Structure 1
């Protein structure tokens, strides 16, 4: 509790924390409401819901080589601010496009908005790394995970409620307002220049193709030269498959197997069950950070959650399914908090943007491939149960991989005890 009070005593962190919440809230509500809108409008064509999620992930493949370089070379505060303002503007544009009703244009706007959003997180993470001490990293990661679990707990319910009360137009307006609020809080932050510009001042004109590609290659070399970092990041390729499956399969199993007539109502309960599991798991994981090493937390979480996700596919009743999903969610915060607290400790501040810039594309490549594969194969080839076997199996595979690789690299490069990391290099 003292650490949480200490971290909230920093005004910059508080403003960034609120900005991150509001920006994420708008994104969650907008995407969720739009999915339900498409499921209502194209009930017999689940492909459209999958394509919406694909428009959320696919843009990473087009901007990944820019995201990290921009976060390390340009003003990180300005990047985060302009991401929010542009996304708010595109939400307003989406209102008009939705009124026209031409699906390719709707998907194009969603694609562009998602592409802009990809620049937000590396810039924001770079600022957080600069204003926090190493002892605060795991606390901030735990706090962030708790907040994200509240989104899981109430996000779907809020999105569906807004959708029911004001329709898709009301949900999009709400989406735009949250981006505006986030932009205001980011603009009010007084971030030190060395945090905003860790590599000195560069203008957008400086970042020509040659400069960007050179910086991008430097980021690759930095990751490859650190075996520990390379091993840790390689797992994100499989995490993308998990994310891709999880964006659609909970709704699919309710609509096409367990509760076809009331899947919207049960999706709220599913969000509550999953969010409650993550929230409780966050408290447990934060407590155990002082007793377990980071890599041990990650491995435990992956193996536990992967096994339970596979088990959930065999549920024949909705309440049993919700119960198993609740238990499976307990292990996910172990992974997220450990990685969130560990990564800033092993990455140099001037390289954080380029490292974070590689994580998203790795995840989004596999996530986009997964969503494209699902749009093509479900339900003609894959059953809903198979989706859960694939996702759960991926988590177990990464857990086994980490259990073999990480201890070997940690022993040679770092000493990790409790929630702190001490560099030996």
Structure 2
């Protein structure tokens, strides 16, 4: 609790924290409401619900070579600020396209709005790295995980309640308002120039195509030179498969197997069970980071979550299914908090944007491929249980892979840091 109190005494961090919170809230409410709108309107075509999630992930592949470069070369505060304002404007445009009712236009608008928002996280994440001390990174990652668990706990339920009470139009309007709130919080921050512009001032006209691709290539070179980052990147690619499958499979399990008539009501309960699991896991993981090495927690979390997700596919009772997902959710914070606290410690602040610029597209590439595969193969080729085998199996395989490579790589990194430290003090 002392660590949490200390980190919240940083005014800039508090504002960035709540800006991220409100921005995510809007996206969660709107996207959830829109998915249920499609499931109601096109009940026999789950393709549309999958396509909605696809429009959230595919845009990364269109802007991935720009995102990291912008975060390292352009004012990070302005990037986050304008992302929110443009997101608010595009939410209003989305509202109008839904009223028109032409689905290709609706999905094109979803694509554009999502593409703009992909610039927000690398800029915001890099600013947080710059305004916190290294010993606070794991605490900040724990707080982010708590927020994520709250979204899992209340996000879908809140989205459904908004959808039931004011419809999809009200939910999209709520999107716009939360983006505006986030923009105002970003604007009020007083971020030092060396954090906003770690590589000096650049104008947009300076970011020509050769420079963009040079920086993008530099990001990959930096990752490949650091074997620990390379290993983590392999895992992130597989996490994209997990995100893609998990974004739709719990709803599909309820609608097409366990509770076809009351899946909307049970989806709220699903969010509660999963959110409580992640919330409890977040507090436990925050305590365990003080007692165990971060890579040990990552491996344990992957194996726990992967195993329970596979077992959940065999559940014939809704409450047993919810209990198994609770157990799977409990293991996820061990992974997320450990990686979230580890990455800022091993990445040069001047390179954070470009490293994030590689992580996000790799995850979204595998996520998009997974969602595309589900869209064309479910339910004609794939059974809903097979989605759980795929996701749980991927998590378990990454856990096994990390157990083989992370201990050795971590010892090597720690040895290099110790050697560098001794050289700096003149001991060697």
Name the TM tier (shorter chain): over 0.9
Output the CA distance in 1 between the equivalents of 2:212 and 2:264.
45
- Conserved? CA contact 1:299–1:399, under 8 Å: yes
Please, what is the CA RMSD of the aligned residues? 1.1
**Correspondence for 1:395:** 395
Match of 1:316, SS state, is coil
* Gap runs ≥5 in structure 1: none
**Correspondence for 1:217:** 217
Residue 5 in structure 1 maps to residue 16 in structure 2: no
1:423 deviation in Å?
8.2
**TM norm structure 1:** 0.98
Alignment of 1:160-309 (within 5 A): 160-309=160-309
**Correspondence for 2:30:** 30
**Correspondence for 1:409:** 409
**Correspondence for 2:323:** 323
Alignment of 1:136-155 (within 5 A): 136-155=136-155
Output the CA distance in 1 between the equivalents of 2:224 and 2:54.
29
* Gap runs ≥5 in structure 2: 422-428
1:275 deviation in Å?
0.3
1:410 deviation in Å?
1.1
Output the CA distance in 1 between the equivalents of 2:61 and 2:350.
23
Match of 1:306, SS state, is helix
1:233 deviation in Å?
1.4
Output the CA distance in 2 between the equivalents of 1:336 and 1:210.
35
**TM norm structure 2:** 0.97
Shift >3 Å, 4+ stretches: 421-425
Output the CA distance in 2 between the equivalents of 1:346 and 1:31.
34
- Conserved? CA contact 1:413–1:424, under 8 Å: no
Match of 1:409, SS state, is helix
Q: Deviations over 1:209-262 (max 9, x none)?
A: 001001111111000000011111111110000000011000000000000000
1:411 deviation in Å?
1.4
**Correspondence for 2:95:** 95
* CA gap 1:384/1:17 in 2 versus in 1, 3 angstroms: same
* CA gap 1:422/1:70 in 2 versus in 1, 3 angstroms: farther
Aligned length: 421
- Conserved? CA contact 1:26–1:176, under 8 Å: yes
Output the CA distance in 2 between the equivalents of 1:178 and 1:414.
42
* CA gap 1:84/1:411 in 2 versus in 1, 3 angstroms: same
**Correspondence for 2:368:** 368
Output the CA distance in 2 between the equivalents of 1:414 and 1:232.
16
* CA gap 1:84/1:39 in 2 versus in 1, 3 angstroms: same
- Conserved? CA contact 1:126–1:352, under 8 Å: yes
* CA gap 1:40/1:17 in 2 versus in 1, 3 angstroms: same
Output the CA distance in 2 between the equivalents of 1:9 and 1:291.
25
**Correspondence for 1:346:** 346
Match of 1:43, SS state, is coil
Match of 1:235, SS state, is helix
Output the CA distance in 1 between the equivalents of 2:341 and 2:418.
13
1:424 deviation in Å?
4.6
**Correspondence for 1:386:** 386
**Correspondence for 1:73:** 73
Output the CA distance in 2 between the equivalents of 1:95 and 1:244.
25
1:415 deviation in Å?
5.8
Q: Deviations over 1:296-331 (max 9, x none)?
A: 010000000000000000000111100110111100
Q: Deviations over 1:44-64 (max 9, x none)?
A: 000000001101100000100
Output the CA distance in 2 between the equivalents of 1:275 and 1:413.
35
Q: Deviations over 1:375-402 (max 9, x none)?
A: 0110111100000000000000000010
